[in-house]
Amino acid sequence: MPEKFHQFQRESNKALRIGTFLVLSIIVIGTFGYMIIEHLSLIDGLYMTVITISTVGYKEVGEQPFGTVGKVFTIFLILISLGSLAYIGSAIIRFIMNGELKHYLKLYKVDKKIQHLKDHVIIVGYGRNGEQAAMELSENNVDFVIIDNRESVIARIDENPALLYVKGEAMQEETLEKAGIHNAKAIIITSPDDADNVYTVLTIRNLNKDAIIISRASELRSVKKLKLAGANNVIMPEIIGGQQMAKLVHQPDVVEFLDYVLLQKSKDVQLVELSCEDLSPAFEGKSIAALNVREKSGANIIGIKSASMKYFFNPDPSTILTKDHKLFVLGNPVQINNLKEWMESETVATRNKS
């Protein structure tokens, strides 16, 4: 299907170019032909050519009626112009009927939508890993743009009108800029080619210093190179898959529980990250116990990430909170939202303090 589509595209574009060339050639030949045969001025020759090929049928210009040669030339001009216009018309009909017009209109709309995106995610590669990443982002209402250069993949993406994409190589700055790299908050690189991934990371980091870059690696020796290039995180699907299969042997319930929390679709329970950046001044410098998390929201704080990038699991209630902390909270969406509102509410927090 993709090859046929692009074959139609090439044929239609070729037909349109040939048709345009024929019309311009007829205008030039007609204009100079009338100038030579009937001794018309340039503007009169052009005027006579246009009304002839358009079959308007106005009166001949010039001081004298056309002679035999002029009439034969006019007949010749009409015949070849009708043939050229018919050729162009058929090309336009094929252009519309083959779906190319619809395709170009979609690309125009997609480009417009991408230009207005901010804090979106760019997914490089739409294979199995890329598609899973897209599904997860979509379920969490996160905007994303896909970059891929494979014809078969682009055809598959085209089937879903909700997907935004750019066809091209992610190693090229032009492609990344079309995908809105300057406004992106994160980039997920799913290609299995480590060398390409390193170059892609370098290109991305040159265009966006602050974006989070998550790259796939196929070989262990590539992890360090990708991090040196600027990747924030490097994932090896083979290692993760192997570890999970091994844990299913001796800790099956733990694995299934974590899968349920992290991968389940119902969203009855979520493990989320809450930043303390907007923590109410009344809570800043206070302990976790002062939040009354369980009583006020029903959620549970199961971990903390400190400003020094250290992780603390099952933190002590006496742990002092600062705006640099990030909390890992377990609960349902309502409980988590209640906790977020409670942490940021100055009025409630002040009342609690008093």
Indicate if the pLDDT at residue 186 is higher than 90. yes
pLDDT given at position 20: 78
In a domain, 277, yes or no: yes
Do both 125 and 80 map to the same domain?
no
Domain boundary among 192, 223, 240: 240
Domain count, the chain: 3
Nearest-angstrom CA–CA distance, 345 and 353: 12
Contacts of 132 (CB under 8 A, 6+ apart): none
Indicate if the pLDDT at residue 354 is higher than 80. no
Collapsing DSSP states into helix, strand and coil, what is residue 339? helix
Indicate if the pLDDT at residue 171 is higher than 80. yes
pLDDT given at position 181: 95
Do both 89 and 127 map to the same domain?
no
In a domain, 43, yes or no: yes
Residue with tokens 């891929």: 148
Neighbours of 226 (CB within 10 A): 25
pLDDT given at position 205: 95
In a domain, 330, yes or no: yes
Which CATH number belongs to the domain containing residue 136 in this structure?
3.40.50.720
In a domain, 258, yes or no: no
Do both 132 and 57 map to the same domain?
no
In a domain, 249, yes or no: no
* Residue range 289-315, pLDDT digits in tens: 888 888 888 888 989 998 888 888 888
pLDDT given at position 108: 75
Q: Cα dist. 344→60, 204, 329 in Å?
A: 84, 35, 15
Percent of the chain scoring above 70 in pLDDT: 86
Do both 133 and 208 map to the same domain?
yes
Which CATH number belongs to the domain containing residue 60 in this structure?
1.10.287.70
The rounded mean pLDDT for the chain is 83
pLDDT given at position 4: 45
**Quick one: average pLDDT of 83-98?**
70
Phi, psi (rounded to 5 degrees) for 273: -105, 125
* Residue range 117-134, pLDDT digits in tens: 999 999 999 999 999 999
pLDDT given at position 173: 95
Nearest alpha carbon to residue 5 among 91, 93, 97: 97
| DSSP line for 297-336 | TS-EEEEEE-TTS-EEES--TTPBP-TT-EEEEEE-HHHH
Indicate if the pLDDT at residue 179 is higher than 50. yes
Indicate if the pLDDT at residue 196 is higher than 70. yes
Do both 130 and 92 map to the same domain?
no
Do both 136 and 70 map to the same domain?
no
Indicate if the pLDDT at residue 353 is higher than 50. no
Do both 137 and 214 map to the same domain?
yes
Q: How confident is the model at residue 101 (pLDDT cuts 50, 70, 90)?
A: low
| Lookup: tokens for 206 | 């040159």
**Quick one: average pLDDT of 307-327?**
87
pLDDT given at position 348: 47
Is the separation of the CB atoms in 304 and 311 below 8 Å? Answer: yes
Nearest alpha carbon to residue 29 among 79, 64, 104: 79
Q: Which domain holds residue 29?
A: 2-98
Which CATH number belongs to the domain containing residue 348 in this structure?
3.30.70.1450
Q: How confident is the model at residue 105 (pLDDT cuts 50, 70, 90)?
A: low
In a domain, 179, yes or no: yes
pLDDT given at position 14: 72
In a domain, 223, yes or no: yes
Do both 235 and 282 map to the same domain?
no
Do both 123 and 49 map to the same domain?
no
Do both 44 and 79 map to the same domain?
yes
**Quick one: average pLDDT of 72-91?**
80
Nearest-angstrom CA–CA distance, 43 and 35: 9
**Quick one: average pLDDT of 251-261?**
80
Whole-angstrom Cα Rg for the chain: 33
Is the separation of the CB atoms in 134 and 146 below 8 Å? Answer: yes
Nearest-angstrom CA–CA distance, 83 and 267: 64
In a domain, 200, yes or no: yes
Percent of the chain scoring above 90 in pLDDT: 31
**Quick one: average pLDDT of 137-150?**
92
pLDDT given at position 63: 62
Which residue would you say has higher pLDDT here, 226 or 240? 226
pLDDT given at position 349: 44
Range with the poorest average pLDDT among 8-22, 163-177, 296-310, 313-327: 8-22
Domain boundary among 240, 255, 287: 240
Do both 213 and 273 map to the same domain?
no
Nearest-angstrom CA–CA distance, 31 and 17: 21
pLDDT given at position 99: 57
Domain boundary among 196, 223, 240: 240
Indicate if the pLDDT at residue 56 is higher than 80. no
Collapsing DSSP states into helix, strand and coil, what is residue 286? coil
Indicate if the pLDDT at residue 2 is higher than 50. no
Collapsing DSSP states into helix, strand and coil, what is residue 181? helix
| DSSP line for 40-56 | --HHHHHHHHHHHHTT-
Do both 180 and 225 map to the same domain?
yes
